[in-house]
Chain A
Amino acid sequence: MSMREKVAWISTLTALVIFGYYFWSVLSDFGQRQLDGDVLFWRFIWCLGIAVAIMLPASLLAAWIGKQQFDPPPDEMEQAIERRSYRAGFGVLEVSLIAIILLSGWIAEMARADYPVDAAGATSVIMVNLLLFAMALAGVLREIQIIVAYRRYA
């Protein structure tokens, strides 16, 4: 297995577990009408730190076990895989951003109904987390496409 495929596996699994937990917790807080921007900010920073703390040593370990370079320059097939997956990930991000923009009016209305004390704050917290979700989704789908491409060529 090439180093790039290993990194894609590590990134995908880590992101699904760590950011899966984060977005599940946001959804849970939202369901209980307890969205707190400060709490969510620090929770996100912690999750990001944990994800980096897992991914970096795991990738180094994978390179060491496989006696491979940690970050080798991509060859032409790897570049082609990356081009396709980045294009697809960017497409997902674009569509998600447009969907979030279209939903913004409905989100503001919902925030006014559910968080009358600080509707503007709640709106921004929801919007920021939807943007984070769109970015995470695009990133995970991009990595999954890299894995699928490598498996197809294997």
Chain B
Amino acid sequence: MVAPPPITNTIRRLRFDHGEMTQQQLADRIGVTRQTVAAIEQNKYSPSLEAAFRIAEVFGVEIGQVFQWTKSGS
């Protein structure tokens, strides 16, 4: 089993804060499938830098407010 990337994200909360935006709506906004958004949100897939910026842009926040690096000392 592949270890999850040492990154957490706040996409679920950000979606909730933006009028309960659905995964499909977010997927449509950033040009990926709903399955990809679900995988990113569950921290099973690390998105490209471009997709990460697009997600931050949709929520109108800095990328650091969406994704956080959790591994220390590396």
Contact = CB atoms under 8 A, between A and B. Distances in A.
Instruction: Tell me what chain B mostly uses at the interface: helix, strand, loop, or mixed.
Output: loop
A76 B44 CA distance: 14
A150 B36 CA distance: 10
Interface residues of A, number: 12
A76 B51 contact: yes
Contacts, number: 35
A147 to B, nearest CB: 13
B36 A78 contact: yes
B74 interface: no
Interface residues of B, number: 13
Instruction: Tell me what chain A mostly uses at the interface: helix, strand, loop, or mixed.
Output: helix
Interface of B: 2, 31-33, 35-36, 38-39, 44-45, 47-48, 51
24 contacts: A1-B35, A2-B33, A5-B35, A72-B33, A75-B31, A75-B32, A75-B36, A76-B47, A76-B48, A77-B33, A77-B35, A77-B36, A77-B39, A77-B47, A78-B33, A150-B35, A152-B2, A152-B44, A153-B35, A153-B36, A153-B39, A153-B44, A153-B45, A154-B38
